[in-house]
Amino acid sequence: MGGGAAHRRKHNIWHQGGDKLLHTVGFTNSDSYKCLENLKKGAVDLCLTYCGWEKCDPGHRFGPNKRISHVLHIVESGSGVFEMDGHQYHLTGGEAFLIPSSVEAWYEADMDNPWTYRWVGFEGMTAEEVIHVSGFSRENPVRRIHCMENAAKYIDAMVQTNKLVFENELKRNGLLMLLFSDLITDNRDACLREGKLLPSHRYPNSVYVEQAVDYIAANFDKRLKINELADRIGVNRSYLTSSFKKSLGCSPQEYLMNLRIEKAKTLLKNGDIQVSEVAAKVGYGDPLAFSKVFKARTGRSPREYKEEKRRLVVKGKKGDYMESES
């Protein structure tokens, strides 16, 4: 974040009693430097603390110092040097560098081709995970990004929403989330291109299982592959399988099969339906394959189960039998 105090405007928020200053928001606007800072931290998960844009003078240097917030700089053009933890990085347009909170760093514009960059300061409970899945870390704080146009658009819009009204706070934090959403997608695409392991965000196992169960319940009558189901909810098959076993004690394939058999039992109790129709209604294109699975699970073929239920219903009408739930 650069210096400069040209065209600085501050908004002060006072306690209702009028005797206590609660918050100061600063907005600086010039041809070479734009900055919105000291923002109210209203969001717990992820919130913007400051942002800006600067066209640096040759040799312009910031630091060494430590920041309270995490800071991400995105270099638009030119070049410069960034140093952190004893490592120097030479950056050019299209690269970004992260300074984690409470870590000392400095950076300096090139004398011949000084850089122009944008920055966002942010913090919150999910900040470190967002940093990780965006492809940055303290060990690897620099990477090239391929979403420059959107990144510039989002940060410029943050700077422009400088009026101290509640809707602007929501808008700025929304833009921050859009920025990181694009950076996460950009990093995932880069990992796929380069054959690297994808960084991942994990919700609790139950979240994935609930989504999968809901999808299976709505689509058990269709051709359903567990690989496609896992991909649909954003995990791989092995992770989904382990989540099912932890939560339900069975694999997703077993859960699907059990659901289909239970649905088939209900349909077979209707004496007017053919076994081939039942097979189709529970997701089996091949009646023979359905019959094999059904017998393996129940000990009876679909026809035997159907006939048995028909006989039991008849007996039940005579009053000498009460049908079981099997």
Q: Please provide the CATH number assigned to the domain covering 205-318.
A: 1.10.10.60
For residue 325, pLDDT beyond 70: no
Per-residue pLDDT at 208: 85
Q: 51: pLDDT confidence band, cut at 50, 70 and 90?
A: very high
Q: Are 117 and 74 in contact (CB under 8 A)?
A: yes
**What is the per-residue pLDDT across 223-250, written as a single tens digit (0 to 9) for each?**
899 999 988 888 888 889 988 998 899 9
**What is the per-residue pLDDT across 29-44, written as a single tens digit (0 to 9) for each?**
777 776 766 555 555 6
**What is the per-residue pLDDT across 282-299, written as a single tens digit (0 to 9) for each?**
999 999 999 999 999 999
For residue 61, pLDDT beyond 60: yes
Scanning the structure block, which residue is given the tokens 């700089």?
73
Least confident of 4-13, 41-50, 181-190, 232-241: 4-13
- Residues 222, 225, 226: CA angle, nearest 5 degrees: 130
Per-residue pLDDT at 269: 84
Distance CA 312, CA 298 (A): 17
For residue 9, pLDDT beyond 50: no
User: How large is the average pLDDT for residues 263-278?
Assistant: 88
**What is the per-residue pLDDT across 71-81, written as a single tens digit (0 to 9) for each?**
999 999 999 99
Per-residue pLDDT at 321: 44
Q: How many CA atoms lie within 13 A of 258 on its CB side?
A: 9
Phi, psi of 14 (to 5 degrees): -110, 150
For residue 201, pLDDT beyond 70: no
| Residue 9 or 175, more confident | 175
Select the highest-mean-pLDDT range: 130-134, 188-192, 302-306. Answer: 130-134
Topology of 8-194 in CATH? Jelly Rolls (2.60.120)
User: How large is the average pLDDT for residues 159-181?
Assistant: 90
Task: Provide DSSP, 50-78.
Answer: EEEEEEPPTT-EEEEE--SSEEEEEEEES
Which regions of the chain does DSSP assign to beta strands (E)? Answer: 8-14, 21-29, 33-37, 47-55, 61-65, 70-77, 79-84, 87-92, 95-99, 105-109, 116-123, 142-144
For residue 192, pLDDT beyond 90: no
Q: 127: pLDDT confidence band, cut at 50, 70 and 90?
A: very high
Ranges of each domain in the chain: 8-194, 205-318
User: How large is the average pLDDT for residues 83-105?
Assistant: 97
Q: 135's torsion region: left (phi>0), alpha (psi -120 to 50) or beta? A: left
